[in-house]
Amino acid sequence: MTISSAFRDPVLRSPAFMKLAANGGTNGISVGADYVLVGWLALQVAESTTWVGGGFALYHVPGLLLGMPAGSLADRVNRHRLVRGLELVGVLILITFAMLLAAGHWNIAVVYGLTVALGSLRAIHHPTRLAYTYDIAGPKRVIPAISALNFSSHLGYIVGAAASGLIAERFGVHHALLAMALAHLIAWSCLSGASPPVAAVHDPSPILDNLRDYTREITRNRLLAALVIVTAGIEVFGTSLYTTLPELAQLRLEVGADGLGGLVAISQAGGLIAASILFVMPAHTDAKPLWLISIACLGLAVVALGAAPNMVTCAIALGAAAAAISAWDILTQSMMQLSVPDRLRGRAMGAWMFAIGSAPLGHLQMGFVVAWLGLDLALYLNGFMVLVVIAAGVLIVKELRLR
């Protein structure tokens, strides 16, 4: 698929997909704000990176607990309607917590309550929308379709990270939460009138039967099982780098919430670049080599962040990490859905959500290791462990090796 053919593709230019991409961008504004406000609120209330790690851990716990049931739910119901309904749930959550903070309830219980609520929303929303993306695009276009959705989401992340930090610094956190609620309301409206594809396959079996069916699949499908295990390992040692950002911004770079938001926003440009490249890759491209390269690059980028002395080098290292994470996410999501029958695609994305639900362990260990060894050594150690995880996976599981 060339650049011109990608943009001319009738499926990727269809009203249903264009509305989905718009939903990804506006929903991404709220998600981008998560990565600024979750850590910043915990640091301001508790004044410790350990509490920041706890906050990010709680943010991802729902993925571990709800990922598989959410995937089963996505296989049973109309995915288009479920995505829209979840946007309205987000509006209610954010308005509620904005009112609590505005009323002066500024404590770790409220901060962690907001964190769990947002994490639960994302745990159900993400696998459902990814399965709906495949519904629209089909197997031949799944990588460019998820890449385009990832691109629009990263645009939202940039806007959300920068705007939330700025609004929180200038007007207060409760105003930032209200802006996030508005983003969810716009995301809901983006999907109005977008009819779900008639080709979508739904499994009306009870959720427990669905889960048993998927358990049988994952025990016999070695590639899917390996992708789940490696994803969990990368979440523990790779994406946990975000736990360090509030302390990195405050102590190394000496900036506030607006500076942290700007740093996260600038770094997300790497994710845009990675998504753009995958969007125009030839349709017959083997995803596995790119998947392996993206993980190796993530490990090296985490190490580089540990050595970065100033705003520019930190932004470059974070940009490289964001690019690697974006490519790894796109390729993992695509490979998982392609490895299972259509009736299991929602559950495949639930398994992905379950795997990234291991992130609490990563954020907790990163918080403790930073407190024990310091920021630099913690990043060096975690980057090295990313390389160890993928090397072990390739050595142990032949399905992950290049042919």
Token representation of residue 114: 């907001």
On whether the CB atoms of residues 190 and 26 are closer than 8 A, the answer is yes
Q: Comparing 7 with 86, which gets the higher pLDDT? A: 86
Around Cβ 309, how many Cβ atoms within 10 Å? 9
Q: What is the pLDDT of residue 388?
A: 95
| Predicted local distance difference test score (pLDDT) of residue 4 | 44
**End-to-end C-alpha distance for the chain, whole angstroms:** 23
Structure tokens of 160? 């959300």
Share of the chain above pLDDT 70, in %: 89
> For residue 16, is pLDDT > 80?
yes
d(CA 326, CA 291): 11
Does the pLDDT value for residue 163 go beyond 80?
yes
The average pLDDT across 195-210 equals 54
CB-based contact 286:234 (threshold 8 Å) = no
CA angle 203, 340, 131 (to 5 degrees): 60
CA distance 360 to 11: 37
At 332, which helix (H) or strand (E)? helix 311-338
- Of 2 and 210, which is predicted with more confidence? 210
Residue 324 pLDDT greater than 50, yes or no: yes
Secondary structure of residue 248 in the 3-state scheme: helix
- pLDDT at 234 exceeding the cut of 90: yes
Residue 81 CA to residue 92 CA, distance in Å, equals 17
Q: Does residue 207 surpass a pLDDT of 60? A: no
Burial class (CB in 10 A: 0-12, 13-18, 19+), 155: buried
Which position has the higher pLDDT, 165 or 373?
Answer: 373
Looking at per-residue pLDDT, the higher value among 139 and 301 belongs to: 301
CA quadruple 244, 247, 251, 257: dihedral positive or negative? positive
Closest CA to 354 of 36, 41, 93, 62: 62
Q: Return the percent helix, strand and coil in the chain, to nearest 5.
A: 85, 0, 15
Residue (of 138, 156, 400) closest to 275 by Cα position: 156
Q: What is the DSSP letter of 250?
A: I
The whole-number average pLDDT for the span 32-53 is 75
CATH code (residue 182): 1.20.1250.20
In this predicted structure, the answer to whether residue 67 has a pLDDT above a threshold of 80 is no
Q: How many domains does the chain have?
A: 1
Helix runs in 284-310, H state only: 287-307
The pLDDT assigned to 68 comes to: 75
| pLDDT value for 198 | 46
**DSSP secondary structure, 37-83, as one string:** HHHHHHHHHH-SHHHHHHHHHHHHHHHHHHHHHHHHHHHHS-HHHHH
State residue 186's pLDDT score. Answer: 96
Flag whether pLDDT at 329 surpasses 80.
yes
Evaluate if residue 3 carries a pLDDT over 60. no
Mean pLDDT of 61-79: 79
Average pLDDT, the chain: 83
Query: Residues 81-101: what's their mean pLDDT?
Result: 93
Is 254 in a helix, a strand, or coil?
A: coil
| Cα–Cα distance for residue pair 213/231, rounded to 1 Å | 22
**329, 294 contact by CB (below 8 A):** no
DSSP 281: S
The residue segments making up the domain with residue 114 are: 3-400
Q: What is the mean pLDDT of residues 296-320?
A: 92
Give the three-class secondary structure for 87. Answer: helix
d(C-alpha 161, C-alpha 312), whole Å: 17
Least confident of 206-210, 211-215, 274-278: 206-210
